[in-house]
Chain A
Amino acid sequence: MTSRRVFLKSGAMAMVTMGFAPSFLARTAAATGTRKKLLITVFQRGAVDGLNMVVPYGEADYYRARPSIAIARPGAADGAIDLNGFFGLHPRMSSFKPLWDRGDLAIVHASGSHDTTRSHFDAQDYMESATPGVKSTSDGWLNRYLQAKDDERNPLRAVALTQQMPRTLQGVAPALAMGNTADFAVADISARTSFEEIYQAAQDKSLHGTAGEAFDAMRTLAKSTSGRYQPANGAVYPRSPFGQALQEIARLAKSDVGLEIAFAESTQWDHHVNQGAGSGQMANRLDDFSRGIAALAQDLGERMADTVILTMSEFGRAVAENGSRGTDHGHGNAMFVIGGGVKGREVYGTWPGLKADQRFEGRDLAVTTDFRDVFSEVVMKHLGAGAPTAAKVFPGYQVKASAFRGILDM
């Protein structure tokens, strides 16, 4: 009992202080290139307040704009965790600090879309399709990546640990959405056989295709993921839906079913009222978010050498707090990029400042990095896609290396 509590408290930090940092620090593993690259994307739905997540505590205007919800400076009670003398992490994200210190965590601040919408739905749609301003795009950017590198029709190549297929993965390439691996089976064998026959015979293209992937995946999963899952390296996931989804991703990654793209979502970031500061609603969501991701990195261990975890949210929030100690919809935001090949310990992007005339429309953090600059760097450098593939993944957008922020080793 006691040991568990101690572990919960210390988490990943203990790994470092006890002297056995995960071996994914050994970056040489990444160079061997024998194992498949893994990209795990995490969507923070509801528009996280990036200014309280990655806090520009060095900017006086931040405090002027947020009299009751600002995160205090490092050193103060519930103060930010200093990163570089200007930015700090929210105090409840301490599980990210070891990743930062080891150079495996990079941040891109003031990133987002050049489309001005402050609609959750539209902004999520634009980010997931990676075509801001274009609603008619039928598929998501991750699915277009799968289409462009269609060298194998493995149903477990791309998996969303969500009940509904996220827009990011919608499209003609095979991808799966499932709540978890354990329930992903038709338990009744004779029924399974009958179902497979009728779906095979069906004229219904979309259901036929989806069911075919489901049956293939079921067979593979039955062989590869039996029994109870035991996280490695002492990783402890939050017992939240998000924590459980990440644990399922680790399980799939380690069971060698050919996972290349994984998706999970963290929800409830729309804090218009009583957002809180060092503690409160948002603090609790950040705690879940960061502990989940830190546990995933710890659990994947040396596999992190071949892995990138990329987080995103549809837009940021207004610089100034609103009349209810919350924040209304804004613009620029912060993304995290985590992995063995990441040139971490750095906040990338051009900081636009928070003075009224530096803000977007006088109110929001301005966007200085197009989110597609980050996505395309990941697609090309991490997943190894060539320029023609990248062009297909990001239609209507000029993918160019000069726009990359230099977050990843080549």
Chain B
Amino acid sequence: MWTRSFAALSLLAVIAGRPQAGAPTAIPATDDAIVHALNRLTFGPRPGDVARVKAMGLQNWIDQQLSPARIDNATLTARLARLETLSLDSATIQHDYSGPAMVERRQRKLENTNTEPPDPVMRPPSRPEAASARSRRSSLGLVRAEADTRGGPPSDVQRKDRQVIADIEEAKLLRAVYSERQLEEVLVDFWFNHFNVFAGKGATRNYLNEYEREAIRPNVLGNFRDMLEATAKSPAMLFYLDNWENVSADSPSPRGAERRAPRAGASPTRAGGPSPASPEGARPKRGINENFARELMELHTLGVDGGYTQADIVNVARALTGWTIRPREGSGTLFVQRLHDDEEKTVLGHTIKAGGGQNDIEQVLDVLAAHPSTARHIATRLAARFVSDNPPTALVDRAAARFTATRGDLREVVRTIVTSPEFFSPDAYRAKVKTPLDFVTSALRATGAEVRSAVPLARELREMGMPLYFCQPPTGYNDTASTWVSAGGLVSRMNFAVALSKNQLRGVHVANPSADLETTIGSPAFQRQ
């Protein structure tokens, strides 16, 4: 019923928009349209791509990209094979990689307390104690990895630890450059960013691989509710947005096992020993932590104007109590009933009955995923990614309606957007400015570069202000032009263009670069997609 009226509507829109043509489809067959589709649905066209898409037909190519499992990807698989940590589970990473490095770092810190003058931020002279150093490290996770390099060559243990992040960065870049399933990779990037977690926050890094591999990747063209649940229950998210510490105010044993678990220092643990003097202070009480509940509604589902209140935030936080992890062990997600607030809650007008236990989270996610604000928020974000920074309202309306009608079938929502007349309107061509990631990967694809090591590329991205997996705020990276058009950013891009075309990036090779390659990559036109 709905589908039929939608089809009629979109046909009307096409006819109204192009009165000269009785075109049966919204997809034009011009080279410009193909270039545009390649710009937006991939990390940039490679030489020959336009001809290839033309030969198979743009519609067919889009259909194929929307069903990535059918596309052969053996070359990429072979390239990823040497990345040994990529397929490991979090417990192994914690046990064999991060854990030992942490122990060694702590050892070194204790040994060095009275010798080497430290970086003042990493270790102010007046605060040498280990507990303080530990919490400082976790609050400055990003600085940590770099700081390790200052005190001489890294040990084997440290090298192994760093391999975890190096591998996942490398995998991301290799996939962006070499995957034949380009739309899938674009969407993995989009959804990871939507459900952002920050590798610099303590134990999050141990869970990163698993998070992208199991919570994000399988769901990007699947169902939104599934992805929402997978991320909400993922150890990476539970740690990053603190829900693992979100417990009922009535929980027993304020120093219970779950709370003590992260003492290894993989996390922001209790700072500096006993509590400060607080004469009037009652005994510290456990209780709810709103962080995840708020971002779940503001960022992941309803959107900031989605119609929730502070009371909804508190009630969602209560419903999420008891979902925790043991970061020290790299554990999977646990539900601990005795940490759960099992009283009745009201969320967005829905009653969650008392005694729901671990079913509370399902009810919350059901309510959020089915809410019209969520449909609109997701539709808006996808349309902004694929069409323009301020996407046309009519398109957002249709994509949101499709979201609702299909109960969050993301393949259909994406299809609606990328086959729409708005997507193929010449106004949308080159309307977006590339993010640093888009810029770097599109340059590599355009030049047919051979990437033997992605380390220098990851470094370039850090310098351009877009370090992979190290976006600290839960908003993720903004992908609008106003964010990325800056003088410093353009200078970095020009320097990258020079380095790439002169083969000055170690581990990256361009065969027979043409004389005008650097001006092409550094040109204004190439900054747009």
Contact = CB atoms under 8 A, between A and B. Distances in A.
A355 interface: no
Given A8-B125, A120-B473, A176-B488, A323 B498 contact: no
A284 B134 CA distance: 11
Contacts of A268: 139-140, 472
A408 B380 CA distance: 45
A277 B276 contact: yes
Contacts of B127: 279
B522 A191 contact: yes
Contact of B289 (A165, A207, A328): A328
Contacts of B218: none
Nearest to B287: A323
A322 B287 contact: yes
B278 A288 contact: no
Contacts of A351: none
A181 to B, nearest CB: 10
22 contacts: A64-B282, A68-B275, A68-B276, A70-B276, A76-B277, A119-B304, A164-B465, A176-B486, A187-B498, A195-B494, A268-B139, A274-B269, A278-B276, A281-B268, A284-B136, A287-B121, A322-B288, A323-B245, A323-B287, A325-B284, A326-B289, A361-B310
A119 B298 contact: yes
Interface centre among A5, A184, A279 (most CB of B within 10 A): A279
Given A67-B275, A268-B472, A186 B495 contact: yes
Interface stretch (A146-154, A209-217, A373-381, A398-406): A209-217
Interface stretch (A196-204, A226-234, A339-347): A196-204
Interface in B250-293: 268-272, 275-291
A207 B524 contact: yes
Contacts of A238: 120-121
Interface centre among B276, B294, B523 (most CB of A within 10 A): B276
Interface in A234-250: 236, 238-241, 243
Interface centre among B135, B269, B481, B491 (most CB of A within 10 A): B491
A198 B288 contact: no
Interface of B: 117, 119-121, 124-127, 131-132, 135-136, 138-140, 143, 241-242, 245-247, 249, 268-272, 275-291, 294, 298, 304, 310, 433, 463-466, 472-473, 475, 478, 481-492, 494-495, 497-498, 518-519, 522-525, 527-528
A11 B287 CA distance: 40
B276 A163 contact: no
B491 A72 contact: no
Interface string A311-333: 00000000001111110110000
A210 B276 CA distance: 51
A210 B483 CA distance: 13
A14 to B, nearest CB: 14
Contacts of B483: 164-165
A72 B274 CA distance: 13
A211 B487 contact: yes
Interface string A174-194: 001111000111111001101
Contacts, number: 270
B524 A211 contact: yes
A326 B242 contact: yes
Interface of A: 1, 4-5, 8-9, 45-46, 60, 63-64, 66-73, 76-79, 117-122, 155, 162-165, 167, 170, 176-179, 183-188, 191-192, 194-195, 198-199, 202, 204, 206-208, 210-211, 213-214, 217-218, 236, 238-241, 243, 267-268, 270, 272-285, 287-288, 291, 321-326, 328-329, 361
Nearest to B116: A1
Contacts of A73: 277
A8 B126 CA distance: 9
A188 B304 CA distance: 46
Contacts of B485: 165, 206-207, 210
Given A184-B491, A211-B524, A279-B127, 4 more contacts: A191-B518, A243-B120, A274-B269, A280-B271
Contacts of B284: 67-68, 321, 325
Nearest to B284: A68
B498 A207 contact: no
B119 A267 contact: no
Contacts of B298: 119, 121
B69 to A, nearest CB: 35
Contacts of B131: 279
Nearest to A202: B524
Given A117-B304, A186-B491, A281 B473 contact: no
Contacts of A288: 121
Contact of A187 (B287, B291, B433, B495): B495
Given A68-B284, A274-B269, A178 B487 contact: yes
Nearest to B314: A328
Contacts of A164: 465, 478, 483-484, 486, 489
A243 B120 CA distance: 10
A274 B126 contact: no
